[in-house]
């Protein structure tokens, strides 16, 4: 068991200044992670405060049977790559009651993660709750059995996001986002299968992609800071399959029309009859 009192401070400011995301002339390099749990079993982490990490705040790598509760993460909105909680190669992990304010993903769930449950999460500022990125460098990546149940996202760049690179392979499957409140979020619901997080343009590689399938969005409401409240940009060759939208109500912050675009999506329900607003403008199939 690891439990808190006090604060872990990564003193990351000098690292942020030397990031290629802050200074485009500098090479992109990894920075240290403030706290890493590696190959831990039957781990409990609770009541920790972590701030200003050089890069990722807390990482769970190749762990099994993990319980995380009441962890608080804080870093400036402008701090680059400062993910709050990062889950990779880990199975059977439960995150509950965590508050995350940072400059990147509040929670990032990447390759090898399965049986992940996140409940009662407060996120913002930050880049939202993300599956991925997956498939960078033509790699194979798998994420499965993820539930996000009960989250509040405030003024984040994204809400709930799945992001994959062109050219990768594998799958992101059996994912549920439910009982989520959005407040002035720029991209509340997004699947981005053309993700590109590098200074130079990514190659247009359509030969393969990570398969996104069996994803449920249920009981999601709030406001979008931009016109596009729902944006599914799925791979044309494979498409996103088994997608369900149910009881989704997103309005434009400050008034005006909110929109939804769904490119290359196969729905498993009739979204016209399941209380979904805005309705999708269907793209390529």
Q: Which helix (H) or strand (E) holds 15?
A: helix 13-17
Helix, strand counts (H, E) of the chain: 1, 25
How far does Cα 156 stand from its chain's mean position?
A: 11
147 contacts 109 by C-beta, under 8 angstroms: no
- The tens digit of pLDDT for each residue in 97-121 reads 999 999 999 999 999 999 999 999 9
216 contacts 246 by C-beta, under 8 angstroms: yes
Q: What is the pLDDT of residue 130?
A: 98
Q: What is the pLDDT of residue 272?
A: 66
Q: What is the CA radius of gyration of the chain?
A: 18
Report how far residue 14's alpha carbon sits from residue 50's, in angstroms, rounded to the nearest whole number: 17
Low-confidence ranges of the chain (pLDDT < 50): 285
Beta-bridged to residue 140, according to DSSP, are: 169
Which domains does the chain possess?
2-282 (2.160.20.10)
Residues acting as catalytic residues: 127
68 contacts 39 by C-beta, under 8 angstroms: no
Q: What is the pLDDT of residue 44?
A: 98
Q: What is the pLDDT of residue 280?
A: 87
């Amino acid at each position: 068991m690891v439990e808190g009192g006090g604060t872990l401070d990564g003193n990351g400011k000098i690292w942020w200044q030397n990031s290629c995301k802050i200074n485009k002339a500098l090479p992109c390099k990894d920075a240290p992670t403030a706290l890493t749990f590696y190959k831990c079993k039957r781990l409990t982490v609770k009541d920790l405060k972590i701030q200003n990490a050089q890069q990722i705040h807390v990482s769970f790598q190749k762990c099994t049977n993990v319980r995380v509760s009441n962890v608080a993460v804080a870093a400036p909105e402008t701090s680059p790559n400062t993910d709050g909680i990062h889950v990779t190669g880990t199975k059977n992990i439960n995150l509950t009651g965590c508050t995350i304010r940072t400059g990147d993903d509040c929670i990032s769930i990447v390759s090898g993660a399965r049986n992940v449950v996140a409940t009662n999460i407060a996120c913002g500022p930050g880049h939202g709750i993300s599956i991925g990125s997956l498939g960078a460098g033509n790699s194979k990546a798998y994420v499965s059995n993820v539930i996000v149940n009960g989250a509040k996202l405030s003024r984040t760049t994204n809400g709930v996001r799945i992001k994959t690179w062109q050219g990768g392979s594998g799958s992101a499957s059996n994912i549920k986002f439910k009982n989520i409140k959005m407040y002035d979020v720029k991209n509340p619901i997004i699947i981005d299968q053309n993700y590109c997080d590098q200074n130079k343009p990514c190659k247009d590689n359509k030969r393969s992609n990570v398969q996104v399938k069996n994803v449920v969005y249920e009981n999601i409401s709030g406001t979008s800071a931009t016109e596009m409240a729902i944006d599914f940009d799925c791979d044309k060759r494979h498409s996103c399959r088994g997608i369900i939208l149910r009881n989704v109500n997103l309005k434009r912050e400050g008034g005006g029309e909110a929109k939804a675009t769904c490119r290359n999506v196969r729905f498993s329900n009739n979204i016209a009859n399941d209380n979904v607003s805005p309705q999708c403008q269907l793209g390529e199939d």
